[in-house]
Copies of this chain bind each other. A is one copy, B any other.
């Protein structure tokens, strides 16, 4: 019996690509920059895994994702011809862009229904303050904010899944990881969690996302509304 659902956030619950593009344009266009904003968002996100890998491999101590987002922004600006941006503007853009991500249409109501049945928490690589602001932006109510910051490590390292189950005092078999990314689910499965795949076929652009899991999972659902109809599990 599943008693808690743990949610991946970027891509699974929120459309980071369109939202980061919009927020980047809002900051940079008034300064005279005319970029391919979706490409800019994709490039920024492209630095995400290699940046976290340094922490996962212990080459670097844990730092919040906010810190990595800022470093990653600084890394891609030259390739887009953006130079001499004031430090305060970089600070503001790095922080703000990832806090104004809009949820996919099924998410707010889906989470509300799921929360009537089980505990729900984000188990994201995003830090606590980022998750709190995203929840406010979208009107999401969580039971707690778990994830990378309480584990001081990044998914898919085992510690993140283990810490989430431990925070809720639940054996992993009573917890399920919910994600649109098969890799996240496979890592959760190695720790004993159940796995639930959500289809986000357009996460990285039209037709460029996981419409279905790339490996066997316990449940595959179209969206959170469909999932809420499947519980209790």
CB nearest to A145 among chain B residues? B144
Query: Are A128 and B66 CB-contacts (below 8 A) given A135-B143, A136-B143, A141-B141?
Result: no
Residue from the list B135, B144, B149 in contact with A128, Cβ < 8 A: B144
| Number of copies of this protein chain within its complex | 2
Taking the closest CB of chain B, its distance from the CB of A42, in whole angstroms, is 26
- Among A127, A132, A141, find the residue whose CB has the most chain B CB atoms closer than 10 A: A132
Taking the closest CB of chain B, its distance from the CB of A144, in whole angstroms, is 5
- The interface residues of chain B lying within 8 Å CB-to-CB of A51 are none
A2 at the interface (CB under 8 A from B): no
A129 at the interface (CB under 8 A from B): yes
On whether the beta carbons of B132 and A168 are closer than 8 Å, the reply is yes
User: Interface size on A (CB < 8 Å)?
Assistant: 19
Residue-wise interface mask of A (135-149) relative to B, using a CB-CB cutoff of 8 A (1 in contact, 0 not): 110000101111001
A87 at the interface (CB under 8 A from B): no
- The interface residues of chain B lying within 8 Å CB-to-CB of A143 are 132, 135-136
A150 at the interface (CB under 8 A from B): yes
Residue from the list B135, B145, B149 in contact with A145, Cβ < 8 A: B145
A169 at the interface (CB under 8 A from B): yes
Query: Are A167 and B149 CB-contacts (below 8 A) given A119-B132, A132-B119?
Result: yes
A131 at the interface (CB under 8 A from B): yes
Taking the closest CB of chain B, its distance from the CB of A69, in whole angstroms, is 13
Taking the closest CB of chain B, its distance from the CB of A107, in whole angstroms, is 17
CB nearest to A143 among chain B residues? B132
- The interface residues of chain B lying within 8 Å CB-to-CB of A146 are 128
